[in-house]
Structure 1
Amino acid sequence: MSVDTAEPSDVFVAGQVFLDIIFTGMLRAPSGGHEIWTDGMGSSPGGVANLAVACSRLGLSTTLSAAFGCDAYGDYCWKELSESENIDLSHSRRFAEWHSPVTVSLAIDDDRAMVTHEHPPPVPAEELLGDVPLTRLAFADVGVDRASWVDTMVARGTKIFADVGWDATERWDSGELRERLAGCHAFVPNAAEAMAYTRTDSPDAAIEELREWVPLAVVTAGSRGAFAADAATGEDAWVPGVPVEVLDPTGAGDVFLAGLMAGELAGWSLLHRLRFANLCAALSVRGFGGALASPGWIDIAQWWAAARSDRRFAEDYEFLDDALADKAQRPVSRAVATIGFVTPAPRPPTETS
């Protein structure tokens, strides 16, 4: 596999892009034979697009490798990511007669349930990627296996931020996972995954185990905040969640990771990295979906303008004054109930005598 010699990007992500259709305002979960009405609906790119968009909106130059269908959903996701979100898709491809993966997400009681339909991409991920791009940071899902490009990037000094999904086998084999984490800079599981792999009963206990696995260990615990240990600085930290009104938690973990990556590139302390990541995730759950609900700097600036007079946040988030000083605060798009709006409405017939 050859190596790209272009100017390095800030972040590289690879994986599956979905069209997410999100329903909110459900009073109860669906059950057989019953129709459930909701008061909110949104459509948005999803899957790995959640992380890519969240990084780009924080001003990080972002490269994405993914397969896209040549259907209407694929058209929408490709255009939204490349044009509206300024994500580099030079390592992505369109495929005819392969339909876009779709996920329906149901937001219920501050949680979510999902139904997904997908087929494997037409070509393996390594073939889709082609030349391994130069990048400062990269995201890798090491839940099942480890892509060969990870080894190439580790050898070049790229910092790999790794994550895992739920272990469907429920073996939670820590030995196999540690092999897949070799050379990775950070491991960012959620609390349930971290406790299962470390055989512990709390996120802070899990951190004590994970700190021996990677230089930067972070465990996310939703509204309970985040726990972390940084071997490079010797810091340990816990930060509470930022209270907000939750509409849809889809993609909050991806947005947290984007905030953590942005803080890494900015050279912030562990506390500031965690606080910023928590804030980004909290701001994202106020909107539909993961990708298009992720905050831009304009959203962060608006939150800080309102929160700086609150004693709970004034000191902890004072670092945002410096962070916001040179950031472009452009408006960002949000999820809409449907996609397209390409064909103009037909004109009403003209009366003739």
Structure 2
Amino acid sequence: MTGRPAGGLVTLGETMGLVAADGIGPLEYARGFSFGIGGAESNVAVGVARLDGRATWIGRVGADATGDLVARRLAAEGVDTVAVRDPGFTGLMVRHRRSGGALHVDYHRAGSAGSRLAPADVPDAVVAAAGVLHVTGITPALSDSARDAVRHAVRVARAAGVPVSVDVNHRAKLWDRATAAPVLRELVEQADIVFAGPAEARLVLGGAGQPAGQPAAELARALAALGPAEAVVKDGANGCTAVIDGDRHDLPAVAVTVVDPVGAGDAFVAGYLTARLAGASPAERLRTAIAVGAYAVTVPGDCEGLPRRAELDAFLSTPDDDVAR
């Protein structure tokens, strides 16, 4: 760790290598690839760090070149990194765009180093000194030990009075709805802040018992009724709806040309939590979240397009300008 002051964002989860095919079409015909890193929790940490916030990421990486890349890249972004070295391999995800609107992501992570995250890997003192602990519904899906690590971190945070942020982030390729729902609901019930898409909110609230057309405001209020003081429903091009301390907030999306939608939700969360840590009002937190999410989708990659503070300020001032002079 770099010894930066405590009090910022602390998060934990798996960060993988990301193999992305260039162009559009079947993977078998791709001739060019880029290699980077990606992971919901580390995306949020990078987003916070780029906006001049303090961020710490906790996870396991393999004793391999990809693990080295993860540790170096996060450190280069200014993220304090607690990277436990594991004899296993660092997970990979392979992404290609089959057609203009069809993005496919395959995971190669079963038995990976990141999936072996355990409670002993979580430094209690780091969590207890955080300004906010952020976890997602992805890590509990990886293994029993990873699920226990998340639960342990949440217990430590709550005992220390640290706010807990949960992004539901349901991944159907990792676990089925019936298995995921009670675990995700348990996390939400212990959270101070919750983020969910409409379908994720319905899953947490009871799955088939929630009508598909239920308004976002109703979903946000129902999530808040489970315990979180701040419930935010992220709805892509429709913007977001939140219930924060009992008050409803609705913000439209910012119109941008979408190049890569992957990581938009993580960018949104990073913007919101950065503003919250800075003491911003609920309206300003959501405005920042919408802007960071919009900015991120204009660039390929999981975290490459996340804005720095000066870029975000310029975007908020003149979001419609396409030439910087």
**Other-structure match for 2:112:** 120
Task: Give 1:22 shift.
Answer: 2.4
Mapped pair 1:296 → 2:286? no
Rounded to whole Å, the distance in 2 between the matches of 1:270 and 1:110 is 33
Rounded to whole Å, the distance in 2 between the matches of 1:255 and 1:209 is 24
**Other-structure match for 1:321:** none
**Other-structure match for 1:240:** 252
Kindly report which structure 2 residues correspond to 1:242-257, keeping only aligned pairs within 5 A, or say none: 242-257=254-269
**Other-structure match for 1:349:** none
Cα 1:174/1:205, change in 2 over 3 Å: farther
Which structure: greater helix fraction?
Answer: 2
**3-state SS of the aligned residue for 1:244?**
coil
**Other-structure match for 1:317:** none
Cα 1:49/1:178, change in 2 over 3 Å: closer
Unaligned runs of 5+ in 1: 1-5, 311-353
Task: Give 1:70 shift.
Answer: 2.2
Conservation of the 8 A alpha-carbon contact between 2:51 and 2:274: yes
Kindly report which structure 2 residues correspond to 1:89-104, keeping only aligned pairs within 5 A, or say none: 89=81, 91-96=82-87, 98-104=88-94
**Other-structure match for 1:314:** none
Task: Give 1:287 shift.
Answer: 1.1
**3-state SS of the aligned residue for 1:262?**
helix
Paired letter, 2:38: G
Work out the percentage of aligned pairs sharing the same amino acid. Answer: 24
Unaligned runs of 5+ in 2: 141-146
**3-state SS of the aligned residue for 1:287?**
coil
Cα 1:206/1:15, change in 2 over 3 Å: same
Structure 1 or 2, whichever has the larger Rg, is: 1
2:164 to 136, 160, 163: 160
**3-state SS of the aligned residue for 2:274?**
helix
Cα 1:93/1:113, change in 2 over 3 Å: same
Q: TM-score, length-normalised on structure 1?
A: 0.75
Rounded to whole Å, the distance in 2 between the matches of 1:176 and 1:77 is 28
Mapped pair 1:69 → 2:83? no
Kindly report which structure 2 residues correspond to 1:1-353, keeping only aligned pairs within 5 A, or say none: 7-23=5-21, 25-26=23-24, 28=25, 30=26, 35-37=28-30, 41-47=33-39, 48-82=41-75, 84-89=76-81, 91-96=82-87, 98-107=88-97, 108-110=99-101, 112-118=103-109, 119-121=111-113, 123-133=116-126, 134-142=129-137, 144=140, 145=147, 146-164=150-168, 165-166=170-171, 168-171=175-178, 177-198=184-205, 199-200=210-211, 201-202=213-214, 203-213=216-226, 214-231=228-245, 234-307=246-319
User: What is the aligned residue count?
Assistant: 295
Cα 1:69/1:177, change in 2 over 3 Å: closer
Task: Report the more deviating stretch, 197-206 or 73-82.
Answer: 197-206
Task: Report the more deviating stretch, 188-197 or 162-171.
Answer: 162-171
Cα 1:290/1:95, change in 2 over 3 Å: same
**What's the C-alpha RMSD, in Å, of the aligned pairs?**
2.7
Rounded to whole Å, the distance in 2 between the matches of 1:21 and 1:288 is 12
Rounded to whole Å, the distance in 2 between the matches of 1:296 and 1:62 is 14
Conservation of the 8 A alpha-carbon contact between 1:62 and 1:87: yes
Cα 1:42/1:225, change in 2 over 3 Å: farther
Task: Give 1:57 shift.
Answer: 0.6
Paired letter, 2:157: M
**3-state SS of the aligned residue for 1:45?**
strand
